[in-house]
Amino acid sequence: MNNMTFLFLIIIVVMGIFLAWTYTKSGKKWLKNL
């Protein structure tokens, strides 16, 4: 596994967590406060 594959995997995981978090009520409140 090279560095690009590892970096891409981390980005997918972080984006997945971020998207799941924004669908929660605290995430929606946080988005409105931006």
Q: Is the pTM of this model over 0.75?
A: no
Q: What is the extent of the structural domain holding 5?
A: 1-31
**Based on the structure, what is the number of domains in the chain?**
1
Nearest residue to 31 (alpha-carbon basis) of 17, 4, 12, 21: 21
pLDDT in tens, 1-34: 689 999 999 999 999 998 888 787 776 777 777 7
